[in-house]
């Protein structure tokens, strides 16, 4: 009996972890500036922020002396690197009187990663070239929900010595805010919890009726499996100890 309870606790713990994983709101990429969430069917789309000739999303790295300009969806026309690159999504520009510009990410090949609902969605852009070393530059843009549309510099994550450039920016935008009215239904986790409570209610009500009319029980004796419920706190304690030990039973000499 104890082994069954321990196994049950392990299964419940596993289902709880699995529910958290399943409930993650992954976003399936549509193109370089949009994706669709799986369960809520919400479309994250930065198209309204696109302005190729005059991009409005600019972040400044005051320490490194660079500006980062991002234009979603469409290649910008204001990042003349001199290297012939096209399809530029992110432009790196120094602060010289006659600023040098570098491609820090192309629209083509962009990658979406993370969970939009949890605020961990990021967009990754890459570009190779633009200087004599043919340097690879990667820009990772973290996306968060907010009332404004603003690009901020987070950090320069390039290796030391710099063999490539890796830059992290943060985009706060209203277009990342999942609206409740656009939800496609209950999440998987909510469905599992709903099923659990429905089964629990059926078990309790059905058990009480069975004990009363089939067994003639009354009072507290109508509770199905009463002895199990009385010993539940102790069983839960034993179960958690069992889980903490990796679901491995203690084998002592006396048990052998």
Say if residue 123's pLDDT is above 60: yes
- Across residues 219-238, what is the average pLDDT? 81
Using alpha carbons, select from 96, 95, 77 the residue that is nearest to residue 87.
77
Say if residue 42's pLDDT is above 60: yes
- Report yes or no: 11 and 20 within 8 Å, Cβ to Cβ: no
Supply φ then ψ for residue 188, to 5 degrees: -60, -40
- Across residues 129-133, what is the average pLDDT? 73
- Report yes or no: 102 and 132 within 8 Å, Cβ to Cβ: no
Q: Which tokens in the block code for residue 122?
A: 């990021």
With a pLDDT cut of 70, the percent of the chain lying above it is 81
* Mean pLDDT estimate for the chain: 83
Q: Which tokens in the block code for residue 186?
A: 């209950």
Q: Which tokens in the block code for residue 161?
A: 């010595």
Say if residue 207's pLDDT is above 70: yes
User: What would the DSSP string read from start to end of 132-192?
Assistant: TT--EEEEEEEEEE-SS-EEEEEEE---SS-SSEEEEEEEEEGGG---GGG--S--HHHHH
Tens digit of each residue's pLDDT (9 = 90 or more) over 146-198: 999 999 999 999 998 888 999 999 999 999 998 754 444 555 667 778 888 89
Tens digit of each residue's pLDDT (9 = 90 or more) over 57-84: 999 998 989 999 999 999 999 998 887 8
- Across residues 232-236, what is the average pLDDT? 81
């Amino acid at each position: 009996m104890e082994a069954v309870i321990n196994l049950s606790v392990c299964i419940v713990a596993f289902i709880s972890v699995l529910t958290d994983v399943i409930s993650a709101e992954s976003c399936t990429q549509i193109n370089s500036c949009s994706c669709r969430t799986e369960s809520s069917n919400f479309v994250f789309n930065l198209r309204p922020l696109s302005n190729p000739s005059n991009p409005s999303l600019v972040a400044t790295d005051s320490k490194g002396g660079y500006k980062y300009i991002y234009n979603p969806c469409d290649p910008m026309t204001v990042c003349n690197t001199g290297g012939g690159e096209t399809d530029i999504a992110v432009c790196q520009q120094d602060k010289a009187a006659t600023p040098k510009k570098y491609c820090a990410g192309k629209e083509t090949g962009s990658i979406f990663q993370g969970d939009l609902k949890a605020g961990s969605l990021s967009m990754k852009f890459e570009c190779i070239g633009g200087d004599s070393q043919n340097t690879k530059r990667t820009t990772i843009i973290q996306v968060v929900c907010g009332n404004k549309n603003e690009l901020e510099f987070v950090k320069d994550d390039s290796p030391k010595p710099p063999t490539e450039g890796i830059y992290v920016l943060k985009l706060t935008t209203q277009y990342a805010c999942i609206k409740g009215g656009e939800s496609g239904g209950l999440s998987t986790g909510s469905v599992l919890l709903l099923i659990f409570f429905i089964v629990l209610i059926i078990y309790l009500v059905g058990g009480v009726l069975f004990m009363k009319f089939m067994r003639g029980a009354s009072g507290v004796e109508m509770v199905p499996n009463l002895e199990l419920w009385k010993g539940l706190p102790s069983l839960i304690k034993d179960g958690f100890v069992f889980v903490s030990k990796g679901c491995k039973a203690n084998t002592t000499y006396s048990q052998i």
